[in-house]
Amino acid sequence: MSAAEKYAIHSDFAKFPALSIRFSPLVIAVLNFVIRVTRVLRKRPSDVTVTRHKIAGRGGHRIGVRVVTPDNVKPDAPALIYYHGGAFAMTFASLHLESAARYARETGCIVVFVCYRLAMRNPFPDGFDDAYSALSWVFENAQQMGIDRARVAVGGDSAGGALAAGVAQKCRDEKLFSLCGQMLIYPVLDNRCATTSATEFVDVPLWNAISNRRMWAMYLRRFTLAEPPAYAAPGMGDASGLPPSYIETAEFDPLRDEGLNYAKALADCGNEPTLNETYGTIHGYDSMVSNETVAASMQKRIDFLKSVFA
């Protein structure tokens, strides 16, 4: 029985293949090569200016960031620090930059898109350190960049959602910066992989429970999986005292339940998160940009950002 027959996946998403990714250097190198080629071939986003920077990271490492500025930007603009998905191991796709450009255009914010170190060579905490260093750089250079320090949010999809959620928790704990919001799109949150969705969905398209377990073993290979370090698996962390939150889940995604669990944990702490549960969807469903559910979710993300930037 195919996944389309077994699950009520929308026909737009059922056409994607069911993959079980092996996190070997060769496999990931090939995937990253393909992603980079498709990125080069796509048309550049319009009505925004994209500038590239190399900023100082922890231990002298240089971090690549792309600053996406809308043509109609106003002084003291809000900012979104964005972390792309890709199982911690893969580079960003053209869709990530296209979405960042849309967030910038439609909310009037400056998007700082972070090219953090990837975990095949640099497992946790290296990529997370880059994520937090990029946020620090934005706050330290906010005046020169035309950014309002009181209106800085973090966001990310999938593994990038883990980075965004972890950064938000570290901001709260260190009390050095104050965020106005966090936007988590089908986020990676819980390395235990013990929820119903993380055990049942072994055969769904694009991202399944088998790949999910392999990803965590790769990402946390410097540590004991039973005791992840602080901020690595934010769903296991303290949900109190965090900024206004948006959480988006996909129905047939191994990560669905950890997203729902985190939304409940936030609500239990008085956060009242904006929860967007999508149905008939899979992990990474928003790559099908013509689908009406994708269009609705993009609008909900933009509405959330407008609300926390207001």
In the chain, where the domains are located: 3-309
Q: Name the token pair of 142.
A: 């906010």
Count CB-CB contacts under 10 A for residue 12.
Answer: 17
Are 107 and 151 in contact by the 8 Å Cβ rule? The answer is no
* H-helix segments, the chain: 3-6, 11-14, 25-41, 94-107, 126-140, 142-145, 159-174, 196-200, 209-219, 256-268, 292-309
Annotated catalytic residue 283:
yes
Please check whether residue 235 is in contact with residue 168, taking contact to mean a CB–CB distance below 8 angstroms. no
The answer to whether residue 158 is catalytic is yes
- What is the predicted pLDDT for the residue at 1? 60
C-alpha to C-alpha distance for 80 and 244, rounded to whole angstroms:
14
Catalytic residue among 129, 130, 148, 253: 253
Q: What is the pLDDT of residue 60?
A: 86
Spell out the per-residue pLDDT of the chain, length 310, in tens: 666 678 999 999 999 998 899 999 999 999 999 999 999 888 777 799 999 999 999 888 899 999 999 998 999 999 999 999 999 999 999 999 999 999 999 999 999 999 999 999 999 999 999 999 999 999 999 999 999 999 999 999 999 999 999 999 999 999 999 999 999 999 999 999 999 999 999 999 999 999 999 999 999 999 988 889 999 999 999 999 999 999 999 999 999 999 999 999 999 999 999 999 999 999 999 999 999 999 999 999 999 999 999 9
53 is an active site residue: no
- 65 bridge partner residues: 53, 114
Determine the Cα–Cα distance for residues 154 and 135; give it in Å rounded to an integer.
8
Pick the CATH number of 3-309 from 2.60.120.200, 3.40.50.920, 3.40.50.720, 3.40.50.1820: 3.40.50.1820
Q: What is the pLDDT of residue 46?
A: 79
What is the pLDDT at residue 4?
Answer: 66
Contact 136, 58 (CB under 8 A): no
Q: Give the pLDDT score at 200.
A: 96
* pTM: predicted TM-score of the whole model, two decimal places: 0.96
Cβ atoms of 166 and 234 within 8 Å: the answer is yes
